[in-house]
A and B are shown apart, each in its own frame.
Chain A
Amino acid sequence: MSKILNNIKLYFSFLQASLKEMLVYRLDFIVGIISQIITQAVEVIFIFIVFQNTENLAGWSFKQVLLLYGITLISVGIKTFCTDGLYEFGPKYIKEGEFDKILLRPVHPLISIFGSTKEFVAMGYLVLGIAITIMMLIELSIPITVVLILKILFFSIIGAIIISAINTIFSIASFWTYRSNEVIWSFDRIYTLAQYPLDIYSAVIKILITFILPFAFVAYYPTMSYLGMNKYMIYISPIVAVILWIIAVKVWNLALNKYRSTGS
Chain B
Amino acid sequence: MQFRHYTIYKSNFWLFTFNRIIEVVVYISVWKAIYNQTGDAGGFTINQMVTYYVLVTTIKSFALWGTNEDMAHSIRNGKINKELLNPLTYFEYYFGINLGEMAFAFVIGFATFIICSLIWGITLPINFANFLLAILVIILGIPVTFFIQMIVGTVGFYSSSIWGMQIFRKSIISIFSGVIAPITLFPNWFQNLSKILPFKELIYTPVNIWLGQVQTSEIIFVIIKQILWGIFLYIIAKVFFNHAIKKITINGG
Q: Which residues of A contact B (CB under 8 A)?
A: 25, 27-28, 31-32, 34-36, 38-39, 41-42, 45-46, 49-50, 52-54, 56-58, 177, 179, 182-183, 185-186, 189-190, 192-193, 195-196, 199-202, 205
Contact of A53 among B9, B161, B165, B185 (CB under 8 A): B185
Given that A28-B161, A179-B12, A200-B30 are contacting pairs, would A35 and B168 also be in contact in the complex, using a CB cutoff of 8 Å? yes
Question: Which residues on A sit within 8 Å (CB–CB) of B38?
Answer: 53-54
11 contacts between A and B (CB under 8 A): A27-B159, A32-B161, A38-B172, A39-B167, A45-B181, A53-B34, A179-B9, A179-B12, A182-B12, A186-B19, A202-B29
Contact B167 A36 (CB under 8 A): yes
Q: Are A200 and B164 in contact (CB under 8 A)?
A: no
B4-40: CB near A (< 8 Å → 1, else 0) gives 0000010110011011001101110110111001101
Contact (A186, B18) CB under 8 Å given A50-B34, A53-B34 = yes
- A167 → B minimal CB distance (Å): 15
Inter-subunit contact B34/A57 (CB<8 Å): yes
Q: How far is the CB of B186 from chain A (nearest CB, A)?
A: 7
Q: Which residue of A lies closest to B8 (CB)?
A: A179
B34 touching A31, Cβ below 8 Å: no
Q: How far is the CA of A28 from the CA of B11 in the complex (A)?
A: 32
| Residues from chain A with Cβ under 8 Å of B168 in the complex | 34-35, 38
Please give, as numbers and ranges, the residues of chain A lying within 8 Å of B163 by CB-CB distance.
32, 35
B160 in contact (CB, < 8 A): yes
Contact status B171-A196, CB under 8 Å: no
Q: Which of A32, A57, A190, A192 contacts B164 (CB 8 A)?
A: A32
Whether, in the assembled complex, B61 has its beta carbon less than 8 Å from a beta carbon of chain A, the answer is no
Contact A42 B175 (CB under 8 A): yes
Give the complex CA separation of A126 and B73 in angstroms.
Answer: 29
Verify A50–B30 contact, CB threshold 8 A: yes
Q: Is the CB of B171 within 8 A of A38?
A: yes
In addition to A34-B168, A177-B9, A201-B25, 20 A-B residue pairs with Cβ atoms within 8 Å of each other are A32-B164, A35-B165, A38-B167, A38-B168, A42-B179, A42-B180, A45-B181, A46-B30, A53-B40, A54-B38, A57-B37, A58-B33, A177-B11, A186-B15, A186-B19, A193-B26, A196-B26, A200-B29, A200-B32, A205-B29
| A-side contacts of B25, CB under 8 Å | 193, 201, 205
Inter-chain CA distance A132–B91, complex, in Å, is: 44
| A186-B18, A200-B33 as given contacts; A45 in contact with B180, CB under 8 Å | yes
Question: A46 to B33, Cβ gap below 8 A?
Answer: no
Q: Is the CB of A41 within 8 A of B22?
A: no
Complex Cα–Cα for A195 and B30 (A): 11
A42 CA to B177 CA in the complex, in Å? 12
B positions within 8 Å CB-CB of A: 9, 11-12, 15-16, 18-19, 22-23, 25-27, 29-30, 32-34, 37-38, 40-42, 159-161, 163-165, 167-168, 171-172, 174-175, 179-181, 185-186
Q: Which of B33, B167, B174 contacts A57 (CB 8 A)?
A: B33
Contacts of A182 in B (CB 8 A): 12, 15-16
A46 touches B164 (CB 8 A): no
Tell which of A41, A50, A177, A202 has the most Cβ of chain B within 10 Å: A50
Whether B30 pairs with A189 at a CB distance below 8 angstroms is no
Question: Which residue in chain A gives the minimum CB-CB distance to B42?
Answer: A53
Q: Can you list the 6 inter-chain pairs with the closest CB atoms, starting with the nearest?
A: A200-B33, A31-B164, A35-B167, A31-B161, A28-B161, A35-B164
Measured between beta carbons, the chain B residues less than 8 angstroms from A42 are 171, 174-175, 179-180
**B171 close to A41 (CB less than 8 A):** yes
Contact assessment for B186 and A192 in the assembled complex, using a CB-CB cutoff below 8 Å: no
Contact of B30 among A32, A35, A57 (CB under 8 A): A57
Shortest Cβ gap from A147 to chain B (Å): 33
Docked CA distance A45–B181 (Å): 9
- Answer whether A189 and B167 are a contact pair too, CB < 8 Å, given A49-B186, A200-B33: no
The reply to whether B164 and A34 form a contact with Cβ atoms under 8 Å apart is yes
Q: Which residues of A contact B26 (CB under 8 A)?
A: 192-193, 195-196
Contact between B186 and A54, CB atoms less than 8 A apart: no
Chain A nearest CB from B100 CB (Å) reads 17
A68 to B15 CA separation, bound complex (whole angstroms): 27
Return A89 CB to nearest CB of chain B, in Å.
Answer: 16
Are the CB atoms of A196 and B160 closer together than 8 Å?
no
Which chain B positions have C-beta within 8 A of A35? 163-165, 167-168, 171
Checking A25, A38, A199 against B160 with a beta-carbon cut-off of 8 angstroms, the contacting residue is: A25
C-alpha gap A42/B23 in the complex (Å): 13
Cα distance A185–B16 in the bound complex, in angstroms:
10
Q: Which of A25, A28, A199 has the most CB of B within 10 A?
A: A28
Q: Which residues of A contact B186 (CB under 8 A)?
A: 49
